[in-house]
Amino acid sequence: MASHDHFARPIKERTSELRSATFGARTVTVLHCTAVLFDCDGVLVDSDSAVVRSWTRWAHEMNLDPEEVLPTVYGRRSLDTVAQFISPSKRSAAVELIDALEIEDAATATEIPGAAELLAAIPPGRWATVTSASRDLAHARLSAAGLTAPEVLVTAGDVRHGKPHPEGYLAAAQRLGVSADQCVVVEDAPAGIRAARAAQVRHVLGVGSRDIGEHQPDALVPDLRSVRWTSAGLEIQ
């Protein structure tokens, strides 16, 4: 599949749109937008332990080294990761196995700090979730974390191409009735950041401490406790 990075606007152009102000010792950055598109795992729910357990079990079942498999799974659909390691004749069964293992362990997911408060503050119809998980898995993990799934939920089965392709984010923006360049994407993984850039969203907010390499967001926070919704967009303190 061809890279879509060439669609992304230059970093200098994107960051020039950030608005920051200092109040005493406190700096506030505003990512202007009319809608927010959230990834799920690592952004709204903490499922890292479950991911490691499930994919490690899967790798052993497939006679693969988990240390080779695990770095490839974050931010991608299970079928895309499976296709990287398993021959075509065995992929269907391999996908069924990892999907079953992840559903089995979904109840261990917890809320990313600040997620519930932020989502409650955003008006209905102004946010969506775009995830590489299946619909059943996304609902299971959101429920385990005490979060309600949004009206617009784009999952692995809703797109022909998973992240880093921009299809998911473009579809979510369309379903919200806004253009992608009016959106902020909140992501934690390189594949998702690349998808957001390829969709030409206005800004990308990174969450967490995952190694994102060269795929830098416009702003980065450890979790969502410092992020607020305002009439202008997302405000980061």
Check 39, 80, 99, 105 and give the catalytic one: 39
Q: Is 80 a catalytic residue?
A: no
Check 5, 41, 46, 218 and give the catalytic one: 41
Exposure of 90 in the CB half-sphere (CA atoms within 13 A): 10
Q: Is 41 a catalytic residue?
A: yes
Structure tokens at 38: 């959230």
Position 34, amino acid: T
pLDDT, tens digit only, all 237 positions of the chain:
444 433 333 333 444 456 665 555 568 899 999 999 999 999 999 999 999 999 999 999 999 999 999 999 999 999 999 999 999 999 999 999 999 999 999 999 999 999 999 999 999 899 999 999 999 999 999 999 999 999 999 999 999 999 999 999 999 999 999 999 999 999 999 999 999 999 999 999 999 988 777 888 999 999 999 999 999 999 998
Cα gap 24→136, rounded to integer Å: 46
pTM of structure: 0.87
CATH class of the region 5-46+109-236: alpha beta
Q: Are strands 183-187 and 110-111 parallel, antiparallel or unpaired?
A: unpaired
Cα gap 137→128, rounded to integer Å: 16
